[in-house]
């Protein structure tokens, strides 16, 4: 006997609710607009259906447009399911399976070839959830995770660093999420293959800059998207050193003034305390996870190993400045962490050496131009000096722009800029003094 139920998934926490519910039973978020959508669209989402094992059909879910992020299109029957997910088997008459590439949680991930993508025949990743192998509780959790990931990927599609959502497919016993295939390896795999099992600080900072920039982009979307599960296993590194975030299953939108999250989710050691029910997750929650991730890459130890007293695999100590940043990012109190990801990015990017060099650029440019004063009339030298100052500032600004450094020296970096400037000024004075002594140059 076939049983089915129509449900509404809360677009705030992802929980399944009865179709007649006006508010989410868990987080009390209003479902009124979703009920209206269901009346207009006839079916907000495909029914969850449990059947015996006769003939199974694949159902193709329509792609979610950004303009329609809060409801799902009706699911319609498609091709007969003949895919057993062995190499060269075909799902829905379209996706030719190549091999299994990952497994975790409720799902198995396969690489497949899209036979209908035209001449290019692009590669895709298929995440398969086998409902018949899950308990009732696991099926509910898998349901929430599956549809939350679809909604989030649709919301952030076209963003660099996020796999492109293609479509979702369902049958009586399986759900499938089809996305862009990302060639490369996870940072977890990359770390395991690294000599000594750790990365040097310079490489970790470079990866941190890319991750902070990508997460900042998510945080400034409207409404903000909190990833909530940042860890080396959920970060892909491509052969050309690009970064992608994978597995948006527990990502959520940020609602200001909300007291706490409905569902405590995350990876032990990488998830901040507030993610376990103490308070609502916010952009600062991802800052904590990024700090834990960078610390793991640098030490070769995950947070739980470090908490148990395992020593770092990296024989070099963490630089005081980077240690200070990690300590702030890993504070148990969200208010003590950096305010946003842009602050983290600037701190990682703005190392003292760069600002010392900027001071050297300014001082060096001015010094070289000042040498022209030797060939100018004495009464010109005073006012021409202002022109040299302007040119030196322009040269510095161009270099700052190319290096993506801020126009103004951030707090704590000014002294390094002045040190660079004074270094060149001292060299200039020594040069002129020697010229005055040996060649009689006039100042």
Annotated binding-site positions: 127
Rg of the chain on CA atoms, in Å = 28
* 64 Cβ contact list (under 8 Å, min separation 6): 72, 73, 150, 151, 153, 154, 165
Q: Which of 313, 289, 292 is nearest to 303 (CA)?
A: 292
Q: Is residue 229 annotated as a catalytic residue, yes or no?
A: yes
Tell me the binding residues for ATP. Answer: 127
Mode of pairing for the β-strands spanning 225-226 and 252-253: antiparallel
Query: What is the 3-state secondary structure of 182-226?
Result: CCCEEHHHHHHHCHHHCCCHHHHHHHHHHHHHHHHHHHCCCCCEE
Distance linking the first and last C-alpha atoms of the chain: 101
- Phi, psi of 236, deg, nearest 5: -100, 135
* Catalytic entry in 11, 171, 229, 340: 229
Cα angle for residues 64, 67, 70 (degrees, 5° grid): 65
Determine the Cα–Cα distance for residues 396 and 386; give it in Å rounded to an integer: 16
Q: Which of 242, 305, 223, 224 is nearest to 270 (CA)?
A: 305
Query: What is the 3-state secondary structure of 95-112?
Result: EEEEEEEEEECCEEEEEE
Which residues are identified as catalytic?
Answer: 229
């Amino acid at each position: 006997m076939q049983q089915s139920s129509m449900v509404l998934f809360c677009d705030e926490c992802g929980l399944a609710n009865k179709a007649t519910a006006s508010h989410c039973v868990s987080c009390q978020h209003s479902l009124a607009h979703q009920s209206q959508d269901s009346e207009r669209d006839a079916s907000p989402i495909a029914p969850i259906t449990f059947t015996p094992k006769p003939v199974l059909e694949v159902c193709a879910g329509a792609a979610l447009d950004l303009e329609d992020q809060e409801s799902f299109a009706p699911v319609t029957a498609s091709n007969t399911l003949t895919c057993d997910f062995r190499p060269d088997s075909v799902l829905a008459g379209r996706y030719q399976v190549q091999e299994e590439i990952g497994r975790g949680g409720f799902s198995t991930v396969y690489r497949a070839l899209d036979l209908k993508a035209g001449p290019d025949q692009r590669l895709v990743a298929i995440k398969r959830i086998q409902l018949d192998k899950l308990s009732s509780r696991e099926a509910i959790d898998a349901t929430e995770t599956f549809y939350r990931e679809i909604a989030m990927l649709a919301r952030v599609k076209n963003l660099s660093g996020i796999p492109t959502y293609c479509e979702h497919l369902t049958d009586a016993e399986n759900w499938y999420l089809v996305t862009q295939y990302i060639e490369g390896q996870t940072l977890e795999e990359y770390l395991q293959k690294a000599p000594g099992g750790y990365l040097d600080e310079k490489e970790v900072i470079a990866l941190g800059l890319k991750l902070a920039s990508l997460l900042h982009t998510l945080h400034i979307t409207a409404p903000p998207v909190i990833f909530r599960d940042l860890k080396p296993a959920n970060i892909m590194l491509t052969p050309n050193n690009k970064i992608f975030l994978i597995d948006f299953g527990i990502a959520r939108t940020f609602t200001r003034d909300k007291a706490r999250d409905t569902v405590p989710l995350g990876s032990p050691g990488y998830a901040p305390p507030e993610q376990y029910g103490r308070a609502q997750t916010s952009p600062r929650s991802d800052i904590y996870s990024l700090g834990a991730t960078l610390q793991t890459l640098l030490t070769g130890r995950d947070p739980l190993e470090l908490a148990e007293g395992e020593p770092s695999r990296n024989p070099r100590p963490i630089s005081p400045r980077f240690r200070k940043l990690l300590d702030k990012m890993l504070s148990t109190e969200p208010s003590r962490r950096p305010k946003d990801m842009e602050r983290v990015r600037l701190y990682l990017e703005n190392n003292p050496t760069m600002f010392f060099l900027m001071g050297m650029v300014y001082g060096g440019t001015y010094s070289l131009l000042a040498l022209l004063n030797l060939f100018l009339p004495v009464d010109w030298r005073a006012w021409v000096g202002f022109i040299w100052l302007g040119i030196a500032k322009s040269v510095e600004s161009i270099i700052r722009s190319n290096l993506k450094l801020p126009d103004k020296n951030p707090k704590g970096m000014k002294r390094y800029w002045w040190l660079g400037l004074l270094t060149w000024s001292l060299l200039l004075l020594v040069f002129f003094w020697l010229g005055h002594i040996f060649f009689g140059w006039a100042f």
